[in-house]
Amino acid sequence: MSIFRRTTRLPDDVRRGLDLPAGDRVLAAAELLDDAWAVATFRAVHVTTEPPLSRPWTAVDRAAFDPITSEITVEWVDDDPPLVLALADADRTAFPQMLRERVQASVVIAETLAFTAERQARVSVRRDHDGTLFSQVSVDPGVDLHDPRVSRRIDEAEANVRSASGLPL
């Protein structure tokens, strides 16, 4: 791979259509197979579909890039369905790496709890774009939050990460 790798330039009309708040800026962009764009900014991930999507980095639970299909699957901390982004040219964009970096930058500390091989909970302290710290819990489908043993483990993990980051309990 060349150190002078060309990256895809976001068209001006797409950039203007993002209507970014003051202080935000485009960090990376990727053209998608459906002619939409995925854009990473300092504050959020944007997709120029109809309707457009804009979610803060703290809303991303995890993301995975499949180099064979050039698809990125983004999973959210809420119950929204995963977002699949089919990149038009994965070799000409820094978007997958920037997505990873921005999500990681929002995580201050995290703990994963395994309930079964397929069911986990992630308890973390996240940093919003303005520096505000808050705790967040995301669980895989099938994790029973009404089970007292599950809720006790999650509460303990949340207390641990809040204490470790200096947040009040």
The domains of the chain are located at 12-105, 106-165
Q: Chain-wide mean pLDDT for the chain? A: 94
Is-contact 43 22, C-beta < 8 A? no
What would the mean pLDDT of 151-161 be, rounded to a whole number? 97
pLDDT at 117: 87
What is the pLDDT confidence band of residue 36, given thresholds at 50, 70 and 90?
very high
* Extended strands (E) in the chain: 26-31, 37-41, 44-47, 53-56, 60-66, 71-76, 83-86, 107-114, 120-127, 133-139
- 4, pLDDT greater than 70: no
At 85 the pLDDT is: 98
At 32, is the secondary structure helix, strand, or coil?
A: strand
Given a contact cutoff of 8 angstroms between Cβ atoms, the answer to whether 116 and 144 are in contact is no
Q: Does the pLDDT value for residue 6 go beyond 80?
A: no
Mean pLDDT across the stretch 107-129? 95
Rg of the chain over all Cα atoms, to the nearest angstrom: 18
Q: Residue 3 pLDDT more than 70?
A: no
Tell me whether strands 60-66 and 53-56 are parallel, antiparallel or unpaired. unpaired
pLDDT tens digits for range 77-108: 998 999 999 999 999 999 999 999 999 999 99
Exposure b/e, 93-117, CB count within 10 A at least 16 = b: bbbbebbbebbeebbbbebebebee
Pick the CATH number of 12-105 from 2.30.29.30, 3.90.1150.10, 3.40.640.10, 3.30.70.360: 2.30.29.30
The band of 1, judged by pLDDT with boundaries at 50, 70 and 90, is very low
What residues are paired with 75 via a beta bridge?
Answer: 62
Report the pLDDT value the prediction gives residue 129, as an integer from 0 to 100. 92
Rounded-to-integer distance, Cα 12 and Cα 10, Å: 6
Question: At 152, is the pLDDT very low, low, confident or very high (cuts 50, 70, 90)?
Answer: very high
Q: Which structure tokens are listed for 6?
A: 């060309």
User: How many angstroms separate the CA atoms of 106 and 42, rounded?
Assistant: 11
